[in-house]
């Protein structure tokens, strides 16, 4: 029995690329008919010299530049955000993208939780 992939997507690690590269990679994923693109929602990263842009801001830019790919964070950290803020961000992204926003939610990783 052969199992076929039902979806194909990618996780873009924003701390390893410039914002321009991240936008270009997302547009490419959309053109290649990927089903979804996701990115991390971190405040801190192990490399203090790496820039780490705000996920919700980049996801909005992704939505404007793409036509079909679904967009999300890998995990939206519910521990450090009020539920209303999370709901407003995902609802706004969903409107901007005509229903392509996806919410992944969880507590998060220790490196992002310990400062809070």
Task: Look up 42 and say whether it is catalytic.
Answer: yes
- Beta-sheet pairing, 9-12 with 36-39: parallel
Cβ atoms of 112 and 44 closer than 8 Å: yes
Catalytic residue among 11, 42, 49, 85: 42
DSSP string, 69-108: -EEEES-EESSSS-HHHHHHHHHHHHHHTTS-B---EE--
Task: Look up 17 and say whether it is catalytic.
Answer: no
Catalytic residue among 11, 17, 82, 109: 109
Tokens of 32: 């290649």
Positions marked catalytic? 42, 109
């Amino acid at each position: 029995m052969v199992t076929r992939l039902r979806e194909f997507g990618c996780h873009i690690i924003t701390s390893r690329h410039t914002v321009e590269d991240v936008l270009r990679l997302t547009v490419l994923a959309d053109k290649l008919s990927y089903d979804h693109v996701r990115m991390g929602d971190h405040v801190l990263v192990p490399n203090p010299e790496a820039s780490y842009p705000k996920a919700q801001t980049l996801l909005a830019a992704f939505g404007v530049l793409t036509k079909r790919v679904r967009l999300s964070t890998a995990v939206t950290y519910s521990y450090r955000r009020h539920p209303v803020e999370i709901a407003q961000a995902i609802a706004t992204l969903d409107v901007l993208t005509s229903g392509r926003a996806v919410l992944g939610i969880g507590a998060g990783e220790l490196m992002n939780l310990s400062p809070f």
